[in-house]
Structure 1
């Protein structure tokens, strides 16, 4: 699913809101909190749905969701839960009053021709501080709905909720979509927040990065891992590069496809990488560089020139220049520069004589 398709999914949720209300699980995913937290707020502070379906199942109407958004906004900014609950409940009460007044006005207008023809004031809009992703949240711009729940959980430092949300987005959309359309935009939003707030929110970035890394390492292979005599793909950051998450996403994708790989992580010294290449004779070596200042073109050429095997049948590894740091320089023969995670996975899969899985 692309970012542009988010609107249709949101529209479906909206219809459910109007007709039956959302379940606790659906609201929890939207807000980036755990269902247990919502139930606890209901029991302790009365921040629950205004009406309940038969069997006492919680069903959350639009006004209830607006109340919970206010509760999340206030608690994320440091307001004690009890005080935040009082304010959130008053928010729902105000919205309900406005709705009643609007309904009465409509009835009067239908019965009075003069009133019906008179201009009507627009419906009240929630203030900017109550919109999703605002206030003390992250600058998310136009992204998938899942990003907003993930960002709220990150700002609250809610590790358990991050684990649940990340597992769900990978299960629902697949690794590549989860990485490119949910994890990366949220990580970038954290970075923008950090840069614009005087070194605040560093803890948010560290916590989110850790849980994203955990989710990537938990991606299970699509089937039983086949035993193969084929040499592996080596994954390493260039010597001055510390950003490993993109390589971890690549490692997870290779694991899903059953492609053997060895992950060496951040800032691998040139001598250590050379030794690993000599010892394993890899099919390919993916070198990650986040910025042009870390791109090590001489090292990439050295790895590409490495040869191994018996005389007369010696082979060279394919070098994959991964990351934006390699931009602006020509790609030498024997090297690849993918445009994204899916392209990188497809290219490496083909090296093993297998067709990439269909895009779905």
Structure 2
């Protein structure tokens, strides 16, 4: 304050329930960066600050944010969500204009008929609005679960970005990278449910040379939600590393993802399916489940099965993991269940 300037009269004392930005972020399930971004861009911050410019959010401030979070989770752009939340707090209707849920223009992604949450995620990705992308992904996973969030929100947006990129040369590559990075992080954030089965983990890996790992990251999140043990080995796993991991862990099932026909190594798949593990006299084999469009529709070979889709793949894996362990009963290796779509 400049010398000689009159002092501002002290404001009313803050309510005892006023919270810091970090506490509000934890309560709403968003990042503190997102809250600060909303405050800076849309003037939906706290009504006042304490000395030292520390933000303190009152129950009324938090109620506005909760309403904004509800709107953005429905696919409403943050700017319109903030306007509606502020309008409702001032006694207005808080109605969002219908035009905001139907994006268009030259930068819009080709989505077709999709959920509103998918449209909101696409808009945020095209704007390169990282805090909004993070918030929308976390909200979709929390409210819909990994399977529905992947099938109805995340995958359609990723496919739309890919189509936009393919039709626009080198444009929109940055959108794909931003979205992929945040999808990967969001899929790993939810804490797995307590383990339901005392069984070796399901091994998940991409074929050698395959860098597209998001689909099996979604599978890992869905397995974790069901309390199924998972060992994720990620993209482009070398062939010998895959074979060694199967020998060392003895999984009931191993999933090998290939996005492209150039990375789908059928000879490797047959070799991995033939690996025997365990002590002599109690040897076992893993069911090798081939996932991704790179493998084609038909596969052949002992203990080789094809997965079609996340939901049906989960059912196959759960059936394999829940089957009696042949090592405990002395029986021969169990045959894998059919892997249908």
Equivalent-residue separation in structure 1 for 2:95 and 2:81 (angstroms): 14
Equivalent-residue separation in structure 1 for 2:117 and 2:146 (angstroms): 14
Equivalent residue, structure 2, for 1:218: 189
Equivalent-residue separation in structure 1 for 2:297 and 2:236 (angstroms): 22
Equivalent residue, structure 2, for 1:198: 169
TM-score by length of 2: 0.69
Equivalent-residue separation in structure 1 for 2:157 and 2:281 (angstroms): 50
Higher RCO (C-alpha under 8 Å, 6+ residues apart): 1
Q: Deviation digits for residues 258-298 of structure 1, max 9, x if unmatched?
A: 21111111111111111212222222110000121211100
Equivalent-residue separation in structure 1 for 2:197 and 2:308 (angstroms): 30
Equivalent residue, structure 2, for 1:260: 229
Equivalent residue, structure 2, for 1:314: 283
Q: 2:131 aligns with which of 160, 180, 186?
A: 160
TM-score by length of 1: 0.66
**Structure 2 regions of 5+ residues with no counterpart?**
1-66, 325-341
Matches within 5 A, 1:37-186: 39=82, 52=87, 56-57=90-91, 59-61=93-95, 64=97, 66=99, 69=100, 131-186=102-157
When the two chains are superposed, the root-mean-square deviation of aligned CA atoms in Å is 2.6
Instruction: Check whether the contact 2:68–2:78 (CA below 8 A) recurs between aligned residues.
Output: no
Alpha-carbon offset, residue 25 of structure 1: 4.1
Equivalent-residue separation in structure 1 for 2:75 and 2:200 (angstroms): 45
Instruction: Check whether the contact 2:200–2:251 (CA below 8 A) recurs between aligned residues.
Output: yes
Equivalent-residue separation in structure 1 for 2:71 and 2:143 (angstroms): 17
Determine if the alignment matches structure 1 residue 29 to structure 2 residue 73: yes
Equivalent residue, structure 2, for 1:291: 260
Runs of 4+ in structure 1 off by over 6 angstroms are: none
Instruction: Give the structure with the larger helix fraction.
Output: 1
Instruction: Check whether the contact 1:231–1:282 (CA below 8 A) recurs between aligned residues.
Output: yes
Q: 1:242 aligns with which of 203, 208, 211?
A: 211
Equivalent-residue separation in structure 2 for 1:197 and 1:260 (angstroms): 41
Q: Deviation digits for residues 81-134 of structure 1, max 9, x if unmatched?
A: xxxxxxxxxxxxxxxxxxxxxxxxxxxxxxxxxxxxxxxxxxxxxxxxx95244
**Structure 1 regions of 5+ residues with no counterpart?**
1-22, 43-47, 70-129, 356-360
